[in-house]
């Protein structure tokens, strides 16, 4: 099974094409993106992505870290994604007791929330590196 | 003031004095706003014959001068035609600014006439693209575009402007700039502390076979004096990438030649045998180090000088010292450190060995056995003998480019302009136009192949109309020679879809477009034709006959390593 890695980044907003540039950084290096979560906060997007581990991952992060508009890129180490369902005002963790329902036609009232839990980060920012080696 | 006038005013304040392009529906208001500047002699608008040529011309201008070249195109097909030129500039780190007209904001996304989603199209082949949404943002983003294009690793930037914004009135026409403050864009950090310098110097002192490898970054940095000084002090031979050829004078005795896929054998051998390599401004692409298996189990030490720290980070080799910053500054620090130590190096065995390789491999290069056509190496030697030292040459892409890589002597910085990373056929002629506009007092010659020439020949008409006296030398082998060579050597001789017919007449084409045409048959003819072209000071085309199955050697088998060089025509030994 291919391990999933979780990436977090901030990119300043010029237009919605910012998101395309982020996703393209992975696509161009043949890396599958499993999920993406993001939100525009004031002047920037904060984006989380779940991507398949890949030999090109470090190169993708380096390229992203010097993409115009990107403030930083971080790899979340030991990241596990916890899933929650939100239904009728109630938030429940998906697990053995609550298998949840991620089917495409599950209905519009049931939301799935993905929360990455991690221990530390390795960050890149325009040639600067912080945290640890990947 | 309207948006177009604000754009024109901003460009003038950014010291733009020439724009290569073609007007159309969505950028004609900009052209209109430039009329007064043109009349006053403050701006020159050069009408290219195809937008690809406009991008290449801006690229040639930028590479010859070291400042951004500007091109413009209308929306849809006009802007789409820029794409190849923009990608070419991106791959070779050339600061090109493209101003593209766009359909009005109310029409965007509705499959309007001459609409194309240019930000979507180019965002992965340029350093940055911005679509202007507000007329007041024009000065800021144009200023940012120039900053982004030139800071750090240079590259092309596209500013896409809807034509209704060109027409929109501006209440405050001040050109307000935010110089050096683009959110999410930073200057790369420099990393050249004394410990790193000391470590680098120790490696260079202790090396028995040091080598200096120079790339495009060394040209951009204009570090020729420092590289030569360092080579003299270390007694270290220099090899280059294709784009790094003009980083040092090629007649400098310690310059061995271009290494890599079609590089000189002695340069490749020098790289393979060296025990310490000082890499200056080269990203070590797959054209330079064709297979990293060549470095497996190697104890070779690498000192990397690069302005882009991520370029060092991504390398699949063990980097002993990474010096991050401008090459010229870093090399001065290395020189100062070496001078403090004051060691006189004794590396005569290493240098003698390199020269022995050079002498040995010469027997494979300088061969005159055929009577059909002229020999590329002798053609280039003849041209070099006629052109002034500071002449600029551009090339297309193909065998002639590889012959230039091996045999052309670039003698001054920024005098060898070629499409290295993207390998774009048709680059040479429009790039020569741009270079000549940038350096009007220099002789500019496009060393082209017939295949490349035919791709952008239409722009010769621009050179004539605009009085841009470039000289085009066509290595005419009536074929797409490099592809033919691969078919011949590695596809069992199954030659297909590469040969041109015999009817095309390059002299008539030249004359039909208003240029001089010369059909040379001997090296003496060639000398005369070049001298006359320079004297006439008018665009000229010189057709040079080359044997159709002439090979570009040395070469490697597809995917081969530097150890697998093919030095002589394998067809003759079978």
For residues A22 and A36, membership in a common domain is answered with: yes
Same-domain pairing of A33 and A69: yes
How far off is chain B from A78, nearest CA to CA, in Å?
22
Q: Which domain covers residue A104, as residue numbers?
A: 80-117
Q: What is the dihedral of CA B503, B506, B509, B510, to 10 degrees?
A: -170
Closest by Cβ to A126, choosing from B130, B183, B186: B186
Nearest-neighbour CA in chain B from A62: distance (Å): 6
- Do A68 and A122 share a structural domain? yes
My answer on whether A97 and A134 are in the same domain is no
A63 and B324 in contact by Cβ < 8 A?
Answer: no
pLDDT of residue B574: 52
pLDDT at B447 over 80: yes
Q: Domain holding A123: CATH number?
A: 3.30.70.260
pLDDT value of position A109: 79
Which residues of A are less than 8 Å from B189 in CB distance? Answer: 126-128
The whole-number pLDDT of residue B344 equals 78
The answer on A56 and A98 residing in a single domain is no
CB contact under 8 A, B310 and A65: yes
On whether both A113 and A59 belong to a single domain, the answer is: no
- % chain B with pLDDT above 90: 92
List alpha helices for B469-541, DSSP H: 481-490, 506-512, 523-536
Query: Does one domain contain both A132 and A93?
Result: no
Among the ranges given (B14-28, B162-176, B384-398), the one the predictor scored with the smallest mean pLDDT: B162-176
**pLDDT of B465 over the 70 cut:** yes
3-state secondary structure of A97: coil
Flag whether pLDDT at A4 surpasses 90.
Answer: yes
- Band of pLDDT at residue A111, cut at 50, 70 and 90: confident
pLDDT of residue B175: 63
**A40 contacts chain B (CB < 8 A):** no
State how far the alpha carbon of A79 is from the alpha carbons of A7, A32, A95, B311, in Å: 9, 17, 17, 27
Q: Which of A12, A17, A28 sits opposite B119 (nearest CB)?
A: A17
Yes or no, beta carbons of A70 and B184 under 8 Å apart: yes
Segment B439-457 shows an average pLDDT of 98
- The per-residue pLDDT of chain B, averaged, comes to 96
What integer pLDDT is reported at residue B470 of this predicted model?
98
- Residue A41 C-alpha, separation from nearest chain B C-alpha, in angstroms: 15
CB B282 within 8 A of CB B217: yes
Which pLDDT does position B285 carry in this prediction? 92
Do residues A8 and A44 both lie within one domain?
yes
Q: Are residues A45 and A105 in the same domain?
A: no
* pLDDT tens per residue across span A17-75: 999 999 999 999 999 999 999 999 989 999 999 999 999 999 999 999 999 999 999 99
Q: Which residues contact B479 (CB under 8 A, 6 or more apart)?
A: B450, B451, B498, B499, B500, B548
SS3 labels along B415-474: CEECCCCCCCCCCHHHHHHHHHHHCCCCCEEEEEEHHHHHHHHHHHHHHHHCCCCCEEEE
Chain A's closest residue to B184, CA to CA, is A69
Is the model's pLDDT at B2 over the cut of 60? Answer: yes
My answer on whether A35 and A6 are in the same domain is: yes
Q: Does residue B370 have a pLDDT over 80?
A: no
Q: Looking at the structure, tell me whether residues A59 and A1 fall in a common domain.
A: yes
Residue B110 pLDDT greater than 70, yes or no: yes
Q: What percent of chain A has pLDDT over 70?
A: 99
Is residue A101 located within the same domain as residue A70?
no
- B232-271 burial, b if ≥16 CB within 10 A, otherwise e? ebbebbbbbbbbbbbbbbbeeebbbbbbbbbbbbbbbbbb
DSSP E strand boundaries for chain A: 4-12, 33-41, 44-52, 70-77, 80-87, 90-93, 111-117, 120-125, 128-130
Provide the number of structural domains found in chain A: 2
User: What mean pLDDT comes out for the span B306-331?
Assistant: 95
Per-residue pLDDT band for B174 (boundaries 50, 70, 90) equals low
Q: Is the pLDDT of residue A133 over 70?
A: no
Could you say which of A62, A68, A128 has the minimum Cβ distance to residue B128? A68
Task: Return the axis-axis angle of helices B376-386 and B523-536, rounded to nearest 10°.
Answer: 40
Residue in A17, A24, A71 nearest the CB of B184: A71
Model confidence at A120, pLDDT cuts 50, 70, 90, reads very high
ipTM of the complex in this document: 0.94
- Evaluate if residue A1 carries a pLDDT over 80: no
The torsion defined by the Cα of B557, B558, B561 and B567, in degrees rounded to 10, comes to 30
Q: Is the pLDDT of residue B194 over 70?
A: yes
């Amino acid at each position: 099974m291919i391990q999933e890695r979780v990436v977090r980044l901030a990119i300043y907003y010029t237009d919605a094409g910012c998101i395309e540039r982020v996703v393209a950084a992975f696509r161009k290096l043949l890396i599958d993106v499993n999920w993406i979560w993001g939100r525009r906060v004031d002047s920037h997007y904060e984006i989380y992505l779940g991507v398949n581990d890949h030999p090109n991952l470090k190169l993708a992060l380096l390229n992203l870290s010097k993409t115009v508009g990107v403030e930083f890129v971080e790899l979340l180490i030991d990241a596990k994604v916890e899933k929650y369902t939100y239904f009728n005002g109630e938030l429940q963790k998906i697990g053995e007791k609550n298998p949840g329902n991620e089917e495409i036609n599950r209905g519009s009232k049931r939301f799935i929330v993905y929360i990455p839990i991690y221990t530390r980060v390795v960050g890149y920012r325009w040639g600067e590196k912080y945290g640890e080696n990947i | 003031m309207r948006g177009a006038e604000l754009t024109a005013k901003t460009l003038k304040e950014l010291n733009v004095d020439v724009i290569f392009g073609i007007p159309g529906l969505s950028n004609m208001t900009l052209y209109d706003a430039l009329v007064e500047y043109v009349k006053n002699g403050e701006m020159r608008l050069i009408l290219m014959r195809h937008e690809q040529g406009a991008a290449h011309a801006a690229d040639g201008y930028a590479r010859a001068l070291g400042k951004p070249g500007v091109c413009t195109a209308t929306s849809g097909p006009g802007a789409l035609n820029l794409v190849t030129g923009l990608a070419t500039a991106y791959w070779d780190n050339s600061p090109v600014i493209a101003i593209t007209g766009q359909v009005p904001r109310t029409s965007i996304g509705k499959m309007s006439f001459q609409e194309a989603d240019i930000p979507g199209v180019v965002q992965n082949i340029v350093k940055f693209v911005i679509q202007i949404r507000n007329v007041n943002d024009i000065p800021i983003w144009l200023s940012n575009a120039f900053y982004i294009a030139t800071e750090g690793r240079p590259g092309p930037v596209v500013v896409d402007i809807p034509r209704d914004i060109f027409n929109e009135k501006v209440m405050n026409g001040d050109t307000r700039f935010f110089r050096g403050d683009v959110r999410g864009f930073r200057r790369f950090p420099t990393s050249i502390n004394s410990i790193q310098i000391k470590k680098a110097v120790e490696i260079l002192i202790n090396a028995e076979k040091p080598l200096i490898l120079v790339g495009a970054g060394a040209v951009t940095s204009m570090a020729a004096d420092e590289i030569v000084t360092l080579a003299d002090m270390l007694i270290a031979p220099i090899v280059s990438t294709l784009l790094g050829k003009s980083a040092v004078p090629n007649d400098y005795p310690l310059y061995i030649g271009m290494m890599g896929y079609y590089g000189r054998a002695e340069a490749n051998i020098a790289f393979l045998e060296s025990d310490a390599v000082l890499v200056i401004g080269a990203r070590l692409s797959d054209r330079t180090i064709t297979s990293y298996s060549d470095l497996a189990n190697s104890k070779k030490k690498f000192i990397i000088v690069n302005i882009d720290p991520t370029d060092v980070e991504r390398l699949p080799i063990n980097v002993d010292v990474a010096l991050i910053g401008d090459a010229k500054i870093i090399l001065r620090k290395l020189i100062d450190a070496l001078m403090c130590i004051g060691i006189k190096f004794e590396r005569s065995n290493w240098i003698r060995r390199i020269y022995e390789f050079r002498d040995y491999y010469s027997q494979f290069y300088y061969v005159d056995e055929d009577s059909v056509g002229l020999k590329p190496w002798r053609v280039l030697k003849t041209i070099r003998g006629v052109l002034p030292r500071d002449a600029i040459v551009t090339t297309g892409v193909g065998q002639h480019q590889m012959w230039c890589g091996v045999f052309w002597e670039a003698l001054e910085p920024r005098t060898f302009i070629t499409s290295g990373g993207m390998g774009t056929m048709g680059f040479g002629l429009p790039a020569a136009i741009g270079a000549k506009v940038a350096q009007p007092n220099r002789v500019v010659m496009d060393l082209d192949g017939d295949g490349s020439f035919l791709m952008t020949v239409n722009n010769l008409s621009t050179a004539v109309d605009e009085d841009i006296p470039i000289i085009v030398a066509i290595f005419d082998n009536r074929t797409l020679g490099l592809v033919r060579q691969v078919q011949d050597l590695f596809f069992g001789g199954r030659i297909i879809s590469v040969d041109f017919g015999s009817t095309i007449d390059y002299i008539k084409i030249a004359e039909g477009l208003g240029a001089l045409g010369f059909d040379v048959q001997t090296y003496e003819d060639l000398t005369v034709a070049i001298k006359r072209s320079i004297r006439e000071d008018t665009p000229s085309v010189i057709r040079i006959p080359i044997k159709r199955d002439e090979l570009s050697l040395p070469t490697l088998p597809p995917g081969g390593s530097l150890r697998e060089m093919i030095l002589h025509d394998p067809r003759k030994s079978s």
